[in-house]
Amino acid sequence: MKLNNHKGLALISLLLASSLSYADMLTGRVVGVADGDTITVLDSGMHQHKIRLAGIDAPEKAQAFGQVSKKSLSDMVYGKSVDVEYTEEDRYQRKVGKVLIDNTDVNLEQVKLGYAWHYKKYQKTQSLRDRELYSRAESTASANKFGLWIDSNPVEPWNFRRNRKNSQ
Protein backbone atom coordinates (compact mmCIF):
# COMPACT_ATOMS: atom_id res chain seq x y z
CA MET A 1 0.00 0.00 0.00
CA LYS A 2 1.43 3.33 -1.05
CA LEU A 3 0.63 6.46 0.96
CA ASN A 4 0.81 9.93 -0.47
CA ASN A 5 2.91 12.41 1.48
CA HIS A 6 0.01 14.01 3.36
CA LYS A 7 -1.49 10.72 4.52
CA GLY A 8 1.94 9.36 5.41
CA LEU A 9 2.84 12.43 7.45
CA ALA A 10 -0.54 12.36 9.18
CA LEU A 11 -0.07 8.70 10.08
CA ILE A 12 3.44 9.31 11.43
CA SER A 13 2.20 12.31 13.45
CA LEU A 14 -0.64 10.25 14.90
CA LEU A 15 1.71 7.44 15.89
CA LEU A 16 4.16 9.84 17.52
CA ALA A 17 1.43 11.67 19.39
CA SER A 18 -0.05 8.45 20.72
CA SER A 19 3.31 7.14 21.87
CA LEU A 20 4.15 10.41 23.62
CA SER A 21 0.89 10.44 25.56
CA TYR A 22 1.09 6.82 26.70
CA ALA A 23 0.84 6.44 30.45
CA ASP A 24 0.94 3.44 32.75
CA MET A 25 -1.99 2.96 35.12
CA LEU A 26 -1.87 1.96 38.75
CA THR A 27 -5.00 1.32 40.81
CA GLY A 28 -5.02 0.97 44.56
CA ARG A 29 -6.06 2.33 47.92
CA VAL A 30 -4.38 5.38 49.45
CA VAL A 31 -2.73 4.30 52.71
CA GLY A 32 -0.60 7.36 53.36
CA VAL A 33 -0.42 11.09 52.71
CA ALA A 34 3.06 12.54 53.25
CA ASP A 35 2.23 16.14 52.34
CA GLY A 36 0.11 18.12 49.89
CA ASP A 37 1.58 16.47 46.80
CA THR A 38 2.80 13.00 47.83
CA ILE A 39 0.79 9.89 48.70
CA THR A 40 1.30 6.15 49.18
CA VAL A 41 -0.92 3.74 47.24
CA LEU A 42 -1.34 0.05 48.09
CA ASP A 43 -2.08 -2.04 44.99
CA SER A 44 -4.02 -5.33 44.82
CA GLY A 45 -0.75 -7.27 45.13
CA MET A 46 -0.14 -5.53 48.48
CA HIS A 47 2.77 -3.49 47.09
CA GLN A 48 3.15 0.11 48.23
CA HIS A 49 3.90 2.82 45.69
CA LYS A 50 4.99 6.36 46.53
CA ILE A 51 3.22 8.79 44.21
CA ARG A 52 4.31 12.37 43.53
CA LEU A 53 1.36 14.31 42.11
CA ALA A 54 2.37 15.55 38.66
CA GLY A 55 2.04 19.16 37.59
CA ILE A 56 1.78 20.63 41.08
CA ASP A 57 3.98 21.67 43.96
CA ALA A 58 2.42 22.04 47.40
CA PRO A 59 3.84 23.97 50.37
CA GLU A 60 6.42 22.09 52.42
CA LYS A 61 5.22 20.72 55.78
CA ALA A 62 7.24 23.36 57.69
CA GLN A 63 5.99 26.12 55.41
CA ALA A 64 2.86 28.26 55.79
CA PHE A 65 -0.15 26.26 54.57
CA GLY A 66 1.91 23.05 54.47
CA GLN A 67 -0.24 21.23 57.01
CA VAL A 68 -3.47 22.62 55.54
CA SER A 69 -2.44 21.42 52.08
CA LYS A 70 -1.68 17.96 53.46
CA LYS A 71 -5.07 17.83 55.21
CA SER A 72 -6.84 18.90 52.02
CA LEU A 73 -5.21 16.08 50.05
CA SER A 74 -5.83 13.60 52.86
CA ASP A 75 -9.52 14.53 53.02
CA MET A 76 -9.82 13.88 49.28
CA VAL A 77 -7.93 10.59 48.98
CA TYR A 78 -7.05 8.83 52.25
CA GLY A 79 -8.54 5.34 52.42
CA LYS A 80 -10.06 5.68 48.96
CA SER A 81 -9.46 3.78 45.76
CA VAL A 82 -7.57 5.83 43.17
CA ASP A 83 -6.25 5.44 39.67
CA VAL A 84 -2.81 6.89 38.96
CA GLU A 85 -1.75 7.70 35.40
CA TYR A 86 2.03 7.93 35.42
CA THR A 87 4.81 8.11 32.85
CA GLU A 88 7.96 8.37 34.94
CA GLU A 89 9.69 7.97 38.27
CA ASP A 90 11.58 10.79 39.94
CA ARG A 91 15.01 10.65 41.55
CA TYR A 92 13.39 9.44 44.79
CA GLN A 93 11.82 6.43 43.01
CA ARG A 94 8.33 7.92 43.32
CA LYS A 95 5.94 7.46 40.43
CA VAL A 96 5.02 10.91 39.10
CA GLY A 97 1.43 10.96 37.98
CA LYS A 98 -2.10 12.24 37.86
CA VAL A 99 -4.28 10.88 40.67
CA LEU A 100 -7.90 10.26 39.77
CA ILE A 101 -10.92 9.45 41.93
CA ASP A 102 -13.99 8.66 39.84
CA ASN A 103 -12.31 10.52 36.93
CA THR A 104 -11.78 13.66 39.07
CA ASP A 105 -8.22 15.00 38.77
CA VAL A 106 -7.07 15.29 42.39
CA ASN A 107 -3.91 17.20 41.39
CA LEU A 108 -6.02 19.86 39.69
CA GLU A 109 -8.36 20.00 42.70
CA GLN A 110 -5.42 20.87 44.97
CA VAL A 111 -4.60 23.81 42.70
CA LYS A 112 -8.25 24.91 42.43
CA LEU A 113 -8.59 24.93 46.23
CA GLY A 114 -5.44 27.05 46.53
CA TYR A 115 -3.34 24.39 48.27
CA ALA A 116 -0.75 23.90 45.52
CA TRP A 117 0.92 25.79 42.71
CA HIS A 118 0.88 24.72 39.09
CA TYR A 119 4.50 23.51 38.83
CA LYS A 120 5.37 25.29 35.59
CA LYS A 121 8.97 24.08 35.69
CA TYR A 122 7.66 20.64 34.69
CA GLN A 123 4.65 21.67 32.61
CA LYS A 124 6.19 20.26 29.43
CA THR A 125 5.52 16.79 30.83
CA GLN A 126 1.80 17.63 30.95
CA SER A 127 -0.66 17.50 28.09
CA LEU A 128 -1.48 20.88 26.59
CA ARG A 129 -5.01 20.56 28.02
CA ASP A 130 -3.71 19.92 31.55
CA ARG A 131 -1.23 22.79 31.29
CA GLU A 132 -4.07 25.14 30.43
CA LEU A 133 -6.41 23.77 33.11
CA TYR A 134 -3.80 23.90 35.88
CA SER A 135 -2.61 27.38 34.90
CA ARG A 136 -6.17 28.71 34.78
CA ALA A 137 -6.98 27.06 38.12
CA GLU A 138 -3.98 28.73 39.76
CA SER A 139 -4.95 32.13 38.36
CA THR A 140 -8.52 31.73 39.59
CA ALA A 141 -7.46 30.55 43.06
CA SER A 142 -5.02 33.47 43.33
CA ALA A 143 -7.56 36.05 42.14
CA ASN A 144 -10.16 34.75 44.60
CA LYS A 145 -7.69 34.42 47.50
CA PHE A 146 -8.38 30.70 47.98
CA GLY A 147 -6.17 28.73 50.35
CA LEU A 148 -2.57 29.89 50.44
CA TRP A 149 -3.45 32.85 48.22
CA ILE A 150 -4.98 34.60 51.22
CA ASP A 151 -1.36 35.31 52.20
CA SER A 152 -0.23 38.68 50.80
CA ASN A 153 3.08 37.21 49.64
CA PRO A 154 2.96 33.40 49.38
CA VAL A 155 6.35 31.75 48.95
CA GLU A 156 6.59 29.10 46.26
CA PRO A 157 7.80 25.75 47.65
CA TRP A 158 10.79 25.64 45.27
CA ASN A 159 11.93 29.03 46.62
CA PHE A 160 11.26 27.93 50.21
CA ARG A 161 13.44 24.83 49.69
CA ARG A 162 16.21 26.86 48.05
CA ASN A 163 16.16 29.50 50.80
CA ARG A 164 16.25 26.82 53.50
CA LYS A 165 19.14 25.05 51.80
CA ASN A 166 21.10 28.32 51.39
CA SER A 167 20.64 29.22 55.08
CA GLN A 168 22.06 25.91 56.32
Instruction: Give percent of the chain with pLDDT exceeding 70.
Output: 87
Domains and CATH numbers, the chain: 21-166 (2.40.50.90)
**Catalytic residue selected from 29, 60, 88, 164:** 60
Q: What is the dihedral of CA 52, 85, 146, 120, to 10 degrees?
A: 70
Q: Quick count: other Cβ atoms within 10 Å of Cβ 163?
A: 10
**Catalytic residue selected from 94, 138, 162, 164:** 94
Residues for the chain: how many in total?
A: 168
Per-residue confidence band for 166, with pLDDT thresholds at 50, 70 and 90: confident
* Averaged pLDDT of the chain: 90
94 in catalytic set: yes
Give every CB contact of residue 138 below 8 A, 6+ residues apart in sequence.
111, 117, 118
Per-residue pLDDT tens over the stretch 88-100:
999 999 999 999 9
Residue 137 near residue 118 (C-beta atoms within 8 A): yes
**Catalytic residue selected from 29, 52, 85, 109:** 52
Residue 42 near residue 31 (C-beta atoms within 8 A): yes
Residue 102 near residue 144 (C-beta atoms within 8 A): no
What is this structure's pTM? Answer: 0.85
Per-residue pLDDT tens over the stretch 135-144:
999 999 999 9
Element (H, E) at 14: helix 5-20
